[in-house]
C-alpha cells in the first residue's frame, strides 16, 4: 500500500499439468447393440480425441456425435455416461457407457426462469412433447435449439417422478435469461466526406423471440436505413417470416442529381 492508500493485487495462476487423451473403451449392458455398432461408436470417438490434448469441448463433441449416431440408427432411450480416468503418464482414458433406459412417458414439461420470455418461445424449440417416450437425445437437442436463439445464458434440465402416473416422468427446464438488446454507433471521415452510422437490435422483442433491427447511415451525399423484422414461428405455422424495409437517398448537389429508393422484401424459411 502506498501513501495514497492504494494497493496492488497480484494473482498467481498455475494451470497445472497438461493431459492428452489416451484410450477409449465402450461399455454397455444393453443386448440391443451389435458388434458393428460398438465398433462404429468407438471409431467416432477416437477420431475426435486421437493425439489431442484433453479438453471439455472434445468430451461434449463425443457425446453429441454418438447421440446423433444412435438416433440415426433408431436407438432410443440410451443414456450416455463418459467416465474420465487419469493415468500416471499424463494421459486421460475414457470409458463411454451406454445405458438402456426403460420406456417411460413424459408427463408434464415445466419451464422455469423465463420472467420476460413467453413460454411459447421455449416450447417452439422443443422436439419432444408431453406424452412422448422419454428420449435423452431429443432432450439435449431441444436444449441446443433453445440456446441457439441467444436469448438465454444457460439452460438445464431435470427429470423427476410425475404426479400424473407412476410410469411417467416430468421434464423440468430451467432457463436463465440474458440481455438481448444491443446498440452500436460509428463515425468516420475521409476524402469523400464524413460518415455517421448506427444500429439498434433487439433479439427478443416483447418476450416473443422476435428479432428487430434498425441500421442507419448518414454520409455527405447519401442517407440510408434498413429496418428488419424476423418472426421465427409466424402465427404458429412453424415457418420463419422475415420482412426488410429499406430507404435510400442519394444527393449529389454539385452534379444537380438526387434520387430516392424505397422498398420492402419478404422472405420465409422452413424445414422440409
Share the mean pLDDT of the chain: 87
- Whole-number pLDDT of residue 51: 87
pLDDT at residue 13 tops 80: no
pLDDT band at 4 (very low <50, low <70, confident <90, very high): low
Grid coordinates representing 175 are: 432457463
How far apart are alpha carbons 147 and 71 in whole angstroms? 21
pLDDT at residue 196 tops 70: yes
pTM of the predicted protein model: 0.67
List pLDDT tens digits, range 59-117.
Answer: 989 988 998 898 888 887 788 889 999 887 788 999 999 887 777 889 999 999 999 99
Please give the average per-residue pLDDT across 130-159, as a whole number: 90
The values of phi and psi at residue 246, to 5°, are -135, 150
Element (H, E) at 136: helix 136-147
How far apart are alpha carbons 96 and 112 in whole angstroms? 31
List pLDDT tens digits, range 219-235.
Answer: 877 889 999 999 998 88
Q: Using alpha carbons only, how large is the chain's radius of gyration in Å?
A: 27
Residue 161, classified by CB atoms within 10 Å of its CB into exposed (0-12), middle (13-18) or buried (19+), is: exposed
Q: What percent of the chain has pLDDT over 90?
A: 48
pLDDT at residue 44 tops 90: yes
- What letter does residue 130 receive in the DSSP assignment? T
pLDDT at residue 1 tops 60: no
Please give the average per-residue pLDDT across 183-208, as a whole number: 87
Pairwise pLDDT comparison (10 vs 177), residue with the higher score: 177
Grid coordinates representing 99 are: 445405458
Return the SS3 of 253: helix
- Whole-number pLDDT of residue 181: 93
Pairwise pLDDT comparison (30 vs 136), residue with the higher score: 136
pLDDT at residue 177 tops 60: yes
- Percentage helix, strand, coil for the chain under 3-state DSSP, each rounded to 5: 20, 45, 35
Amino acid at each position: 500500500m502506498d501513501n495514497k492508500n492504494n494497493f496492488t493485487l497480484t494473482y498467481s495462476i498455475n494451470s497445472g499439468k497438461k493431459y492428452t487423451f489416451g484410450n477409449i473403451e465402450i461399455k454397455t449392458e444393453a443386448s440391443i447393440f451389435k458388434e458393428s455398432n460398438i465398433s462404429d461408436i468407438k471409431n467416432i470417438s477416437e477420431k475426435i480425441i486421437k493425439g489431442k490434448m484433453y479438453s471439455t469441448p472434445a468430451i461434449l463433441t463425443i457425446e453429441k456425435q454418438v447421440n446423433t449416431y444412435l438416433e440415426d440408427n433408431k436407438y432410443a432411450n440410451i443414456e450416455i455416461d463418459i467416465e474420465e480416468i487419469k493415468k500416471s503418464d499424463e494421459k486421460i482414458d475414457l470409458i463411454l457407457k451406454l445405458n438402456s433406459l426403460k420406456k417411460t412417458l413424459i408427463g408434464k414439461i415445466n419451464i422455469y426462469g423465463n420472467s420476460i420470455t413467453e413460454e411459447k418461445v421455449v416450447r417452439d424449440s422443443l422436439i419432444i412433447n408431453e406424452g412422448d417416450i422419454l428420449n435423452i437425445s431429443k432432450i439435449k437437442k431441444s436444449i441446443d435449439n433453445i440456446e441457439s436463439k441467444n436469448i438465454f445464458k444457460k439452460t438445464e434440465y431435470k427429470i423427476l417422478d410425475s404426479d400424473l402416473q407412476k410410469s411417467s416422468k416430468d421434464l423440468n427446464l430451467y432457463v436463465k435469461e440474458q440481455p438481448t438488446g444491443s446498440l452500436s454507433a460509428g463515425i468516420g471521415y475521409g476524402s469523400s466526406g464524413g460518415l455517421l452510422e448506427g444500429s439498434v437490435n433487439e433479439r427478443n422483442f416483447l418476450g416473443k423471440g422476435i428479432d428487430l433491427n434498425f441500421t442507419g447511415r448518414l454520409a455527405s451525399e447519401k442517407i440510408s436505413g434498413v429496418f428488419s423484422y424476423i418472426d421465427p414461428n409466424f402465427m404458429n405455422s412453424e415457418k420463419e417470416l422475415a420482412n426488410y424495409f429499406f430507404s435510400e437517398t442519394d444527393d449529389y448537389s454539385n452534379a444537380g442529381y438526387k434520387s430516392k429508393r424505397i422498398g420492402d422484401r419478404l422472405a420465409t424459411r422452413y424445414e422440409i
